Structure 1
């Protein structure tokens, strides 16, 4: 279960504040219509507003409130709607709020939204609360049926939070508080997962190595960022990552960190593989066989790496473990992405728009997860423990 997580690795390190902390709500305006602002106490107000205050001397309460709102993000929808407020709670609105945070994975945004469902619930029995959660989970999954991590995150949240041990012996309010505690704990573990994976992978990156990455993965970026902060000397080959060209984004991030980067077109992987020491890829989903679903091109990279005896490492959070068992590339619903070839496509020419492929377990070396470093054959056992 989640208590078996390798997050104990993090206890030796000081982690940044968790995104789960709710943003502060704007302070109520001063009743004095023309206050003289104390520039030493205008914490959070930009230099522009402070300079303007120095020039004009008088700042209205409305203007000061606008200045404060300009630097403080809005509070989550769950904080603006309470069970007695009369405004209906929207899990989609809550999900969209968390999804806009750049460092938050889509599955974690769904977990945060489902936790808000419990806090905002008007249910008076456990059955009603579970029905609300199931309805909200289904609504999130319907929003993007092709997202494996979103679906798996919702399913694992439901299994972890609503397990019935001891709940039937408590009154409803105590049981609801226990559910909220579990939801917050689940969200906390999910947020720490990326950092845990980065810690576990450091022993596999050595000085002078060359790492091939494919597309953009937040957890792979975290691994490389931590390796650079540990003063390890390495270089990275980034594939272009068609059709979204997400490899360009990753190369920009790495270059900003001072890491030597070389950008490749996707078809140059075999040409440069003899220079590569290891491959790091993320995953949209990890399936029961130990294989992964990831952006288009991962399968052919793994094939080339396997033929040249290069290790392929997968970095994936455990909330991406899905109860799926694909047998071939067409077994799952395709993730469609528009493709811009830069030139008009002749009429009658069919274009393959699927942006995801399946890589079988025999072409993967190790999976770095917050449950530990796993071989593909062990994934099925860990997945059973997660869901049961």
Structure 2
């Protein structure tokens, strides 16, 4: 259990960050826990596995990839401990393998949307979005990238390092320079933490700013998202909870000094309406946001419908 608790804390503290990386880390933690779990009865096994699932799921409330990964990896239909253990190990391993393959497929599909000489803007640090950019670069297309700083955690610094290591011409901009820079951009590509049944995108705070600026400037806006980032619970009316993180990420409380009436708001995500999204690129293909329902139904399965 300690290893699983360590992973949960790393997810909660954002030592492990990014929806895809969170999902695979949770699946691996659950797989390893179940593999080593010793119980005296099937009932005890079920209770301990369900508790482990809850611990992982509760770490980050917004990224639907986390509960989807835990539920898909941890699913079983068995009557004995060994049958259930075997099914979970197989399901978790399959999820991890599919997640890895998904990035390759997203890269190949999304790269078709980029032309030689294109300039791309990206936000935060998304493996799926970067897969498209890197694949286009490997194909010999001359791609230039503007990457946002992505405050307050500055995930953009990770992005520019990855792009630099790949040999891609990259410029870091402050978040407030998005509209100023948009006139030089051909396509915006971002990741996703959750996609709702109506095709709305829940992603790193500031994403809606990029989408609005792109819409006004008539620049294509693409979200790159594995199918497990779609939210089945929104099909049944549930709202995606927007995580409010520690104000100290913005400014340490001791720096506020003699300003007792000042409060800090630090939402980690925002919502981009579907009408500002031109395309969602998944490992199963590229779809308009209006087809989110089809992805939820056909690629996630109804066994997730009770998740909330």
Output the TM-score relative to the length of structure 2: 0.82
Cα distance in 1 for residues equivalent to 2:69 and 2:82: 26
Q: Aligned with 1:352: secondary structure?
A: coil
Match of residue 387 from structure 1: 301
Match of residue 204 from structure 1: 113
Match for residue 172 of structure 2 among 258, 263, 272: 263
In the alignment, structure 1 segments of 5+ residues that lack a partner are 1-87
Structure 1 pair 335–219 and aligned structure 2 pair: CA distance change class (3 A): farther
Shift in Å at residue 149 of structure 1? 2.8
Match for residue 237 of structure 1 among 146, 150, 172: 146
Match for residue 97 of structure 2 among 146, 163, 188: 188
Cα distance in 2 for residues equivalent to 1:178 and 1:277: 46
Shift in Å at residue 102 of structure 1? 9.0
Cα distance in 2 for residues equivalent to 1:172 and 1:178: 10
Match of residue 33 from structure 1: none
Match for residue 60 of structure 2 among 144, 155, 176: 144
Cα distance in 2 for residues equivalent to 1:150 and 1:188: 16
Match of residue 250 from structure 2: 339
Shift in Å at residue 201 of structure 1? 0.9
CA contact (8 A) 1:290 1:378 kept: yes
Cα distance in 2 for residues equivalent to 1:375 and 1:137: 32
Cα distance in 1 for residues equivalent to 2:255 and 2:81: 62
CA contact (8 A) 2:242 2:267 kept: no
Shift in Å at residue 125 of structure 1? 6.1
User: Relative contact order: is structure 1 or structure 2 higher (C-alpha 8 Å, sep ≥ 6)?
Assistant: 2
Shift in Å at residue 302 of structure 1? 0.6
Is 1:133 equivalent to 2:49 in the alignment?
yes
In the alignment, structure 2 segments of 5+ residues that lack a partner are 303-308
Shift in Å at residue 128 of structure 1? 4.5
Output the TM-score relative to the length of structure 1: 0.66
Structure 1 pair 143–270 and aligned structure 2 pair: CA distance change class (3 A): closer
Match for residue 112 of structure 1 among 18, 28, 32: 28
Structure 1 pair 140–252 and aligned structure 2 pair: CA distance change class (3 A): same
Cα distance in 2 for residues equivalent to 1:380 and 1:152: 16
Shift in Å at residue 133 of structure 1? 2.3
Q: Larger radius of gyration, structure 1 or 2?
A: 1
Match of residue 263 from structure 2: 350
Structure 1 pair 118–322 and aligned structure 2 pair: CA distance change class (3 A): same
Structure 1 pair 211–180 and aligned structure 2 pair: CA distance change class (3 A): same
Cα distance in 2 for residues equivalent to 1:118 and 1:212: 41
Structure 1 pair 260–324 and aligned structure 2 pair: CA distance change class (3 A): same
Match for residue 122 of structure 1 among 21, 32, 38: 38
Q: Number of residues paired by the alignment? A: 290
Is 1:254 equivalent to 2:163 in the alignment?
yes
Structure 1 pair 268–381 and aligned structure 2 pair: CA distance change class (3 A): same
* Structure 1, 209-218 or 171-180: larger mean CA deviation: 171-180
Match of residue 72 from structure 2: 156
* Structure 1, 99-108 or 305-314: larger mean CA deviation: 99-108
Structure 1 pair 249–97 and aligned structure 2 pair: CA distance change class (3 A): closer
Q: Aligned with 1:233: secondary structure?
A: coil
Match for residue 206 of structure 2 among 278, 292, 297: 297
CA contact (8 A) 1:212 1:238 kept: yes
Cα distance in 2 for residues equivalent to 1:155 and 1:222: 26
Cα distance in 1 for residues equivalent to 2:250 and 2:295: 37
Cα distance in 2 for residues equivalent to 1:96 and 1:334: 16
> How is 1:170-189 mapped onto 2 (pairs within 5 angstroms)?
173-174=82-83, 176-189=85-98
Cα distance in 2 for residues equivalent to 1:96 and 1:348: 32
Match of residue 364 from structure 1: 277
